[in-house]
Chain A
Amino acid sequence: MGLKKHNGKRPSVLAIHLILISWSLVVLFPLWTMLVNSIKPKREIFRHPFGIPDEITFEGYRHAWTGANFDIYFRNSIFVTVVSLLLILVLGSLAAYAMANWRSRTSNLVYLFFIAGLMVPIRLGTINIFQMIIAMGLAGSIFSLIPIYVAMGLPIATFVLTTFIRELPHEIFDAARVDGASEWRIYWTIILPLVRPALATVAIFDLIPIWNDIWFPLIFNLADNHRTVAIGVSLLFGQYQTNWTRVLSALSLSAVPILILYLLMSKQFIKGLTAGAVKG
């Protein structure tokens, strides 16, 4: 508001800072509470819940990691997330490349079919998905989650990638085609490297809901050594609701990997998570 003109508008910048600092405190206070208390002994949490710890303990983390199987849960979550994301990116970019090049009524219909999924939550089909997973003999297994997450991630992937590939200069592919390169080769050596920024957007957009999903692990009632971090946290929370050190350690454990990733590349995260929405 007129920063450059010194016409008495200075206080408004102060007001902006005041409002944003207040909200920042509202955001940071719970996170601080979670992180700082996860390394305090139980007694100290009650004596002064907000201060820096006098005595540091990693009992909570140790318990979550070995006692509560979080090592297995982490391996499972990473496995499901990485495999699902890879499949989404490969299948999504292949389909997007086809739809960006094949201009016809059929391809438009397929495109519309995909992006309709942006507005319809996959959870509404839960009953039939559950039946299919049981019929396929995948109930309770970590593998039951992968096809669901891939299907769930494909609408945004095809949407973002098709838009992106359509905006690429056509001369690039045409030149390669004239040189006799196969479409597969063009996709692999030209398209994939070019769409990397869009792939990052899609990966981030799909990463959060997959990593954090609780609905399908809950419905599919995963066997103990097939559980993900999210469902592990909910089990632990029910079990140790009064042992704050343990509960807060488990919460921190599940939140910190994504938090670090976010702080390292917050620009891409914000862009990725907002992308689908703004373009639509």
Chain B
Amino acid sequence: MSHSAAPHHKTSGLGSEAARRLRVWVLFLIPALLIYAVFMAFPLFNSMRLSFYTGQGLTPDHFVGLENYRELFTNPIWRDPFTNAFKNTCIFHLIHMAVQNTLGLLFATLLATPFRGRNIYRTIIFTPATLSVLVTGFLWTLILNPRWGMLNQMLEAVGLGAWAKPWLGDPDLALIVIALVSSWQWVGLPTMMFLAGLMTIPDELIEAARVDGASAWRIFWQIKLPLLKPVIGIVWILTFVGNFNAFDVVFAMAGTRGEPGYAADLLATFFYRTAIAGEHPVARPDMGIGAAVATCTFLTLLAGVSVWLILSRRRNGQT
């Protein structure tokens, strides 16, 4: 075993040595693999399997095929809140795309220009992302309180008292306001991702365009934005996965029923009620239906990830 050409280990007749190493690799892998499989991968598939079963209590044991899905899609008791939650989640996602990610792109573009003090801005913009969603949710609930909240007090102080509103009590506003609070919290992530993307664009490219007389605006649209496409894709898919799982912010600001009147109900809060807390008017958790809701969420995420993979593969194929 004294030769130094290590890469040839396996081919140079050291069979027992290779077998010993293989055993070591398997030993190193097993603890992580076991925990990950038992507590994450297996429950995910098993939860989906449960969507084909029904039964009272903790473990649905009566096989019913697609009956839970038929209930979920056709029985108004389930169908109406489900479609409402799905629609709200889509709106929630669109607001994040329009506000959080657009602001992120704007901040990243600004921060990509060299000037003094940009590290301070970077630190500030990212700060809310380190807070608990629960804390931001509760904090904003207090600030937005119609009676003694600071926002309305502030509007009155500057003579805009007419703009004061019960921000979280109005069914037309609640979901939008909650999505804005969530965007406020997470805008630092797209900012940093776009910033990292912008840093990889060679300076010469921008310089050449500038010499050719292109305006900053044109450079942004025709050079930077096309080169950022892969980052845009990643930001979108992460926002998508995050939004379709969002629970905490609604839990903190609108309760598990997405008050007022389910106006802010999302898929995750609906899932929580069906599977764990019990959905009105059934008032008893139904694990089978809950599993069907989780499976629908999973399929939605899978569809999103597939779209992202196909688009990024097509892009790679072209270049």
Partner of B44 from the list A23, A124, A180, A266 (CB cut-off 8 Å) is: A124
Pair A98/B28 contact, Cβ less than 8 Å: yes
Q: Interface residue tally of chain B, by bracket?
A: 35 or more
Q: Taking the nearest CB of chain A, how far is it from the CB of B23, in angstroms?
A: 10
**Distance in angstroms between the alpha carbons of A212 and B196 in the assembled complex:** 26
Chain A residue contacts of B21, Cβ below 8 A: 101-102, 183
Q: Taking the nearest CB of chain A, how far is it from the CB of B181, in angstroms?
A: 9
Q: Which of A30-38, A52-60, A64-72, A195-203 contacts B (4 or more CB under 8 A)?
A: A30-38
Contact with B along A87-128 (1 / 0, CB 8 A): 100011011011101100001001001100101111111111
Q: Taking the nearest CB of chain A, how far is it from the CB of B86, in angstroms?
A: 15
B248 close to A (CB within 8 Å): yes
**Distance in angstroms between the alpha carbons of A183 and B234 in the assembled complex:** 36
Given A12-B216, A95-B32, A154-B36, decide whether A266 and B126 contact each other with a Cβ distance below 8 A: yes
Q: Interface residue tally of chain A, by bracket?
A: 35 or more
Pair B44/A125 contact, Cβ less than 8 Å: yes
Dominant SS among interface residues on chain A: helix
**Distance in angstroms between the alpha carbons of A128 and B192 in the assembled complex:** 36
Given A121-B241, A127-B287, A277-B238, decide whether A230 and B132 contact each other with a Cβ distance below 8 A: yes
B90 close to A (CB within 8 Å): no
Q: Taking the nearest CB of chain B, how far is it from the CB of A39, in angstroms?
A: 16
Contact with B along A116-154 (1 / 0, CB 8 A): 010111111111111110100000000000011011101
Q: Which of B63-71, B75-83, B106-114, B166-174 contacts A (4 or more CB under 8 A)?
A: B106-114
A219 close to B (CB within 8 Å): yes
Chain B residue contacts of A211, Cβ below 8 A: 132
B205 close to A (CB within 8 Å): no
A258 close to B (CB within 8 Å): yes
Pair B35/A277 contact, Cβ less than 8 Å: no
**Distance in angstroms between the alpha carbons of A115 and B39 in the assembled complex:** 15
Given A126-B294, A132-B43, decide whether A24 and B32 contact each other with a Cβ distance below 8 A: no
Pair B127/A99 contact, Cβ less than 8 Å: no
B193 close to A (CB within 8 Å): yes
Pair B130/A258 contact, Cβ less than 8 Å: yes
**Distance in angstroms between the alpha carbons of A147 and B148 in the assembled complex:** 43
Q: Taking the nearest CB of chain B, how far is it from the CB of A121, in angstroms?
A: 5
Pair A128/B47 contact, Cβ less than 8 Å: yes
Contact with A along B35-60 (1 / 0, CB 8 A): 11011111111110010000000110
Pair A208/B130 contact, Cβ less than 8 Å: yes
Q: Which of B139-147, B221-229, B257-265 contacts A (4 or more CB under 8 A)?
A: B139-147
Chain B residue contacts of A2, Cβ below 8 A: 210
Pair B36/A1 contact, Cβ less than 8 Å: no
Pair B248/A183 contact, Cβ less than 8 Å: no
Partner of B148 from the list A46, A120, A274 (CB cut-off 8 Å) is: A46
B129 close to A (CB within 8 Å): yes
Partner of B189 from the list A16, A27, A277 (CB cut-off 8 Å) is: A277
Q: Taking the nearest CB of chain B, how far is it from the CB of A29, in angstroms?
A: 8
Question: Please, could you name 14 A-B residue pairs with CB atoms under 8 Å apart, sorted by A?
Answer: A20-B107, A23-B103, A30-B143, A33-B139, A101-B25, A123-B247, A126-B43, A127-B43, A128-B42, A150-B39, A151-B39, A215-B247, A234-B134, A251-B135
